Amino acid sequence: MNDLLHVIVLAIVEGITEFLPISSTGHMIIASSIMGIQSNDFIKLFTVAIQLGAILSVVVLYWKRFFQTLDFYYKLFVAFLPAAVFGLLFSKKIDALMESALTVGITLFIGGIILLFVDKWFNQPDVKEEKEISYLTALKIGFFQCLSMIPGTSRSAATIVGGMSQKLSRKAAAEFSFFLAVPTMFAATAKKLFDFIHDGHVFTGEEIKLLAIGNVIAFIVALLAIKTFISFLEKRGFQLFGWYRILVGGIIIILILTKHDLQVI
């Protein structure tokens, strides 16, 4: 990938979709397919590494939360543990699933159906702030996050729904999902970078420039996406995201069944 336009588009897609319950993986596949981007090791690294920009947007928006008690970090660590363990144990199987565009389409579709009913299922929240979350609740949300290892599920969707199932309000569940993204996405990026270098790859000056541009754009777009999402979620709930997922998942499934090739990154 040496086209600056490709970098800009993918970074915008990442910034918009990473924190919304619509699957950044699925949208990266769609965007890459439309632009005809050929998959290689750097492309796979790029689509993960630009998450660093999105991570920074969370820290900037909620910087006060990251300078409070150690209890905040302990809860994030507890919630992060399940994904860390499952990720290490099943990394090869997860990579194999990443090669399946059909998996993305199906999980987008099923997840969309679930989002249509989430607001009705969990409409009596007791926990309205992060500081009210118990360690057991944080651990349970962490197990929900493991579902996002199936491409198309959406990490934010899994953790927000997981939080609401534990009686968190929409806002509290979304914000804890954002906070949990920081260690999770940082670990995923660090592992991808390690694997890239361990396999003998050396970054070129052009690749470093593309990564820098991608992270800056993802940061700016994610800032806007998070602020807009929280406001929308409090007022409207998840139904629109559910219908959107059903539409996108259905299109992917139809394209595959009609023998249209989707480039998987």
For the chain, give every domain's residue range.
4-257
Predicted pLDDT of residue 141: 95
Predicted pLDDT of residue 185: 85
Say if CB 208 and CB 2 are below 8 A apart: no
| Main-chain dihedrals φ then ψ at residue 222, nearest 5 degrees | -65, -35
Predicted pLDDT of residue 265: 47
Residue 23, sorted as left (phi over 0), alpha (psi -120 to 50) or beta, turns out to be left
Predicted pLDDT of residue 13: 92
Predicted pLDDT of residue 148: 85
Predicted pLDDT of residue 170: 87
CA-nearest of 118, 93, 112 to 153 is 112
Predicted pLDDT of residue 194: 85
| Main-chain dihedrals φ then ψ at residue 127, nearest 5 degrees | -105, 120
The single residue listed with the structure tokens 């969990």 is 122
CB-CB neighbours of 256 under 10 Å: 17
Quickly list H helices, 19-146: 24-35, 41-49, 51-61, 70-89, 91-97, 101-121, 135-146
Predicted pLDDT of residue 124: 82
CB-CB neighbours of 113 under 10 Å: 13
CA distance 65 to 88: 29
Taking CA atoms, 239 is separated from 22, 52, 141, 147, 220, in Å, by 12, 29, 21, 20, 26
| Main-chain dihedrals φ then ψ at residue 168, nearest 5 degrees | -85, 145
Predicted pLDDT of residue 136: 95
Ranges of residues in the chain whose predicted pLDDT is under 70: 1-2, 91-100, 260-265
Model confidence, pTM: 0.86
Predicted pLDDT of residue 263: 52
